[in-house]
Amino acid sequence: MRHYNVLVVHQKYIPMYTARGAILRSNMFDTHKLNEVGFTKVKEFKTMLSLAISEVMSMLPESEDKDIFRQKVEEAVFFGTRSIACDPSNYTEIIPYPEKNREIK
């Protein structure tokens, strides 16, 4: 079985629940290792959204509004992917990011 890592950014320590109802502590930069189901869902989500947005983007004239629209679509893709990745049925494990601040050199 292949695994896919997806970085999912949360607000710090949002409680997450497993399928059995156990609470998981999720750090802001934890990575969710997607299973085949999760990877397929993310791929389908991005493909469908890409097709729809490509059509819409071709209709919009170059403008600041189009740039803002593009930015909001990027945000939507991020949050949609995060939503899929955070579903316990779509990942095999959460790889925790170290909680203690590391000294940057």
- Contact (CB, 8 A) for 95 and 24: no
Q: What is the pLDDT along the chain (105 residues), one digit of tens a residue?
A: 555 555 555 444 444 555 555 445 555 677 889 999 999 999 999 999 999 999 999 999 999 999 999 999 999 999 999 889 988 899 998 887 765 554 444
| Residue 8 pLDDT | 52
> Which residues, in sequence order, are bridge partners of residue 93?
33
- Total-model pTM: 0.65
Closest to 38 in 3D by CA, of 70, 100, 101, 84? 84
| Residue 13 pLDDT | 42
| Residue 99 pLDDT | 58
Q: Where are the domains of the chain?
A: 4-95
How many DSSP H helices and E strands does the chain contain?
Answer: 2, 5
Which residues lie closer than 8 Å to 81 by C-beta, 6 or more apart? Answer: 6, 42, 45, 46
